[in-house]
Structure 1
Amino acid sequence: MTGIDYDDAETLTAALEDRLTATLAPDTVSRRSVLGGIGVAGSAALGLSGTGAADGDHDDDEHGNFGPNGEYGDENFDPHDFLRTFNTGGEGQDNVNENVYEEDGQTVRHFTLTAVDTTITIAPGVEFDAWTFNGQVPGPTLRVVEGDTIRVTFVNGSSHAHTIHPHVKNVDPRMDGTPQNGPGVLETGEEFTYEWEAQPAGLHFYHCHSLPLKEHFHRGLYGVIVVDPDPDRVRENPREYVSGNRPVSDEYAAELVETAKTRNHEYSENARYDEMVMVMNGFDTNFDGENEVYAANTRAFAYGVGSTDANGEWEAGETIRPIQIDKNQRQRVYLLNATEFDPINSFHTHSQFYDYYDHGTTLEPTHSTVDTVMQCQAQRGILELDYSDHEQGLYMFHAHQSEFAELGWMSFFEVV
């Protein structure tokens, strides 16, 4: 790739970013006016001025106005750090209190999640009044192993009532995190410890289930649970990890066990893959039931092409840079759609095809050799990509709802 390709990509990212932030300044803007108001041009031609801020106060919020911010803030959230950070109970983010220990012969991975009202940055100069887990959107990624006990102490430091609902196979209705079951909704200052068995293996989801659902969901109360397959369980019950009811030969069962090791963070085989989490989300900045900003991991164009100081600062787009990947290492993307108000989001790669594992609950692909996959809200899956035969340079990926891409959900891999 020549230098001009990077220059052109940077110009494209800057033009789309500037158009978005310029038209978000009035708090009555709709996404249609963002798309139609200004043509794609260089940033100098856009005449940017001022700061766009989303107003969080609106009359139909049954929980009332926002309370004070909690102890967490947005200044330390970097979508590039979030991308590859997994909280396993033993290691992860500094703002996650976590531990892993044995209890009655069972591995317990214990996390503390705190609901906090805070302001997050969704584009340079554009802020959004969010309800969060541990002060960030998406919430921390929890990574466990199939069969573990997931123990989550939930502390409600928000001024609104919240719960945590897990998308795992939960056999105890008291732990479902809904207003009707167990402790119900937790009011300000209350806490409760949820427990779930980590099953089935795959990519799962947690979110607040307090009413009104669209409000609590859209404001940012969601995150990812990765349940790694246990190779020993795969060896004992290989048919549980394939589609359909066809026989599984001993040879194929052995292959499934080896595949399970690559998906389990406790095995050295996992290092063959560069793993990352992408949560597709959107933000209704004027609370009209229509998103004005879209992103992967919250910040519009975070994985576009721009200048960077490489120190994780977020000032005028300095952390906007492509995701750098090693062409000799396979890529694994844990993809989840947390977009409210739009029925479908999607993931499309340029110049590349991938295998897709819907919900990640099988060890064989549900779709092979595809370059676009659609997900409804809460749907998730695992993508596996191989760039070993590609030339070095930039390869775009984005939502193939074109307006989503223009409003923030446009990214690049940089193959090196």
Structure 2
Amino acid sequence: MSRLLPSILSRRGFLSAGLVTAGGAALTARNAAGQAGHSGHATAPAADPAAVPDHGASHGAMITVGGVDEARNGFDTTKLLTDWETGTVSRLPDGRTLRTFEVEAVDKEIEIAPGIMFPAWTYNGRVPGPALRATEGERLRIVFRNGGSHPHSMHFHGIHAARMDGVPGAGLIDPGDEYVYEFDARPFGCHLYHCHALPLKRHIHKGMYGLFVIDPDPARHPEHADIARSRLLGTPENAEWQELAMIMNGFDTNFDDENEVYAVNTVAHAYMKRPIRVVRHKPVRIYLANIVEFDPINSFHLHANFFDYFEQGTTLTPTLKTVDLITQVQAQRGILEFMYRDHEPGLYMFHAHQSEFTELGWSAMFQVVEAVA
């Protein structure tokens, strides 16, 4: 897949420059610290980086060295996992819920790997953009302001009128302008939004995308009401799950239409260095989407375990059962469900099953624990 490039940030130059390297002091065996997640959800890694034991580098013996200044980035990979944006809620005259989100396009330089800055176009100053979450049947209103330097939009993967499609002539706005998208939340599932301005590959690749999750309304699905309640944020049944938001992304640092850095949630090897703590006896649910540009396919492989997969998240029964690997093209997404009840505590890897992707940043760890301190 790689080709020789003049830039030191080509795939091969990236490796030979030592920005990604094996072993060393960066891989000292310290415990991975964590903090309790909201409502018993999965525990994200702690704010202070903690290196993982030496086998953290075993897949290709390569990992980025050093840390990323996430305070300067303005978003923390710790919080991206569980930071659901639920907007503000009011009532329509007919009694239905109106859920309002405010989103702004912002040009911002971010650090995607130690010492590697990327000139991003963002939603609300973060990549990926806010993980918008609503409930099936609600009326959604998204107030979008363009504070960037190029025309932008928000195209939602869902059901809506043509004038709400976020394409040229229907919600694409110039810098300084504002547009209000309004539609009903349907269908339930794990969806995506992204900019649909041209050239599309640049607007997506530069960081303009985010998760758009619609929880099922249990009253609309009596045959699977218990399952629907487990997905409905704020219910006791949902609190039993450790839920995580993940977007698989990549970055073309020298704009040659090939990616030099890969990640889940933007920062290369973030969750390899700071493993995600999950409680052994509680189930895990991942809302996963692929938005990598310039590569035709991405993948997710779970070590030492298997999961059930819900393609697009639009069903309450699995579309695939007992698998340890799924592939996704760009904009494909789904829900993964699994647990570590029968496992001993320890570090369990997950990553793309394209070795090049793992070595250039898309590999991570779960730290399975008995309970959260």
Give the TM bin, normalised by the shorter chain: 0.7 to 0.9
Q: Which residue number in structure 2 is paired with residue 409 of structure 1?
A: 362
In 2, are the aligned partners of 1:138 and 1:297 still within 8 Å (CA)? yes
Q: Which residue number in structure 2 is paired with residue 290 of structure 1?
A: 258
1:16-415 correspondence to structure 2 within 5 Å: 27-35=7-15, 40-43=21-24, 74-89=72-87, 99-104=88-93, 105-170=95-160, 172-180=161-169, 182-183=170-171, 185-235=172-222, 253=223, 256-305=224-273, 321-415=274-368
In the alignment, the residues of structure 2 paired with residue 161 and residue 37 of structure 1 have an alpha-carbon distance, to the nearest angstrom, of 36
In the alignment, the residues of structure 2 paired with residue 155 and residue 37 of structure 1 have an alpha-carbon distance, to the nearest angstrom, of 40
Q: Secondary structure at the match of 2:85?
A: coil
Q: CA deviation at 1:283?
A: 0.2
Q: CA deviation at 1:87?
A: 1.1
In the alignment, the residues of structure 2 paired with residue 31 and residue 49 of structure 1 have an alpha-carbon distance, to the nearest angstrom, of 16
Per the normalisation by structure 2, the TM-score is 0.83
In the alignment, the residues of structure 2 paired with residue 415 and residue 268 of structure 1 have an alpha-carbon distance, to the nearest angstrom, of 23
In the alignment, the residues of structure 2 paired with residue 29 and residue 188 of structure 1 have an alpha-carbon distance, to the nearest angstrom, of 31
Change (3 A) 1:266 1:35: same
1:291-329 per-residue CA deviation (whole Å, 9 max, x = no partner) reads: 000000000000013xxxxxxxxxxxxxxx000010111
Q: CA deviation at 1:74?
A: 4.7
Change (3 A) 1:174 1:261: same
Q: Secondary structure at the match of 1:369?
A: strand
Q: CA deviation at 1:197?
A: 1.1
Q: CA deviation at 1:284?
A: 0.2
In 2, are the aligned partners of 1:74 and 1:118 still within 8 Å (CA)? no
Which residues of structure 2 form unaligned runs of 5+? Answer: 27-61
Change (3 A) 1:51 1:365: closer
In 2, are the aligned partners of 1:337 and 1:378 still within 8 Å (CA)? yes
Q: Secondary structure at the match of 1:119?
A: strand
In 2, are the aligned partners of 1:28 and 1:286 still within 8 Å (CA)? no
Q: Secondary structure at the match of 1:336?
A: strand
In the alignment, the residues of structure 2 paired with residue 392 and residue 340 of structure 1 have an alpha-carbon distance, to the nearest angstrom, of 36
Q: CA deviation at 1:288?
A: 0.3
In the alignment, the residues of structure 1 paired with residue 314 and residue 291 of structure 2 have an alpha-carbon distance, to the nearest angstrom, of 19
The structure with more radius of gyration: 1
Change (3 A) 1:352 1:210: same
Q: Secondary structure at the match of 1:269?
A: helix
Q: CA deviation at 1:75?
A: 3.3
State the one-letter code of the partner of 1:42: G
Q: Secondary structure at the match of 1:411?
A: strand
State the one-letter code of the partner of 1:398: H
In 1, are the aligned partners of 2:15 and 2:21 still within 8 Å (CA)? no
In the alignment, the residues of structure 1 paired with residue 139 and residue 119 of structure 2 have an alpha-carbon distance, to the nearest angstrom, of 33
In the alignment, the residues of structure 2 paired with residue 74 and residue 36 of structure 1 have an alpha-carbon distance, to the nearest angstrom, of 27
In the alignment, the residues of structure 2 paired with residue 49 and residue 302 of structure 1 have an alpha-carbon distance, to the nearest angstrom, of 11
State the one-letter code of the partner of 2:225: V
In the alignment, the residues of structure 2 paired with residue 386 and residue 81 of structure 1 have an alpha-carbon distance, to the nearest angstrom, of 21
State the one-letter code of the partner of 2:270: A
State the one-letter code of the partner of 1:168: G
Q: Secondary structure at the match of 1:304?
A: helix
Q: Aligned pairs, how many?
A: 325
In 2, are the aligned partners of 1:133 and 1:140 still within 8 Å (CA)? yes
Q: CA deviation at 1:35?
A: 4.7
State the one-letter code of the partner of 1:34: F
State the one-letter code of the partner of 2:109: T
Change (3 A) 1:124 1:49: closer
**What CA RMSD, in Å, does the superposition of the two structures yield over aligned residues?**
2.3
